[in-house]
Amino acid sequence: MKKYFLPAAMLALFEAVAVTLWITKDNLFYLFNFSYIGLSVSLGVFLFIRKYRYARRAAQLLVGPYMLVYLGIICGENMQIEGFWYYLFTGVFEAATIHYAVAKIFGPLFFGRGWCGYACWTAMVLDFLPHRIPETPEKRIGWIRYFTFAVSFLFVCALFLAHIGGIERIMFWAFIIGNVLYYAVGITLAFAFKDNRAFCKYICPITVFLKPMSYFSLLRIKCDKSKCVSCGKCRRVCPMGVDVTDNSRSRKNGTECILCFECSKNCPTDAL
């Protein structure tokens, strides 16, 4: 039973958030929302432990469409970073602010970039592309993420400073157009750089939150040096270029790890 501790702990964490928000905000939606996400992600980890090949994809397909189609399009909640700024500026601790606090700001202290591996609706599509393992060397253009982060912030600032009416409607369309742009850029880069996760590595503004917080993550892949035979397979199969044999927090690309477990699945000596 010990091996099922991780999915059980994740489910318990999400349930704690679900019940706390349900009671404090007096809104049953939060109980449903976080229970559903917690169940989906825990199911993905559980299936992975049971050696089901498409475990992570199952979690992505359960959470991604729910957030993109149901919350974003049907309920009209902008769950992108612009939505986070918008709700933050209006002083409302709802929707995108709660989502960001749980999945992208404080959650990564516990589960690192699990969001990126199991729940993100952008990566859900990118992971279907043919370049799962990067085929070209890493590019030195990670600075673009700070630019996109600043643009999203300035865009929402400008809406407030200009006292534009109907911001709710604008945020809805910003969500639709933003997602179309993310998919277009993400798919183009994946083919241009022969790397499905190029968008995540260089463009995604959310990594400005995710990377520093996941540096301190409780949950991380560790290498048992006594078992490692330095075959390098873990490095070759890693979609994010992490040097997982280095146990230090400052290991190469350590904050890029999306906890996909491809490295541990492929390690011939079970060192990971």
Nearer to ligand SF4, 22 or 64 (CB): 64
Minimal distance in Å, beta carbon 122 to ligand SF4?
A: 4
Nearer to ligand SF4, 31 or 123 (CB): 123
Minimal distance in Å, beta carbon 28 to ligand SF4?
A: 27
Spatial contact of 104 and 200, defined as CB atoms under 8 Å apart: no
Which residues lie closer than 8 Å to 90 by C-beta, 6 or more apart? Answer: none
| CA 103 – CA 125 distance, rounded (Å) | 19
Nearer to ligand SF4, 31 or 262 (CB): 262
Minimal distance in Å, beta carbon 36 to ligand SF4?
A: 19
Nearer to ligand SF4, 13 or 204 (CB): 204
Minimal distance in Å, beta carbon 61 to ligand SF4?
A: 14
Minimal distance in Å, beta carbon 258 to ligand SF4?
A: 5
Minimal distance in Å, beta carbon 224 to ligand SF4?
A: 8
Residues that bind ligand SF4 in the complex, under the rule CB under 6 A = 116, 120, 122-123, 199-200, 204, 206-207, 221, 223, 228-234, 238-240, 242, 244-245, 257-263, 267-269, 271-272
Nearer to ligand SF4, 27 or 269 (CB): 269
Nearer to ligand SF4, 39 or 258 (CB): 258
Find where tokens 């990564």 sit.
108
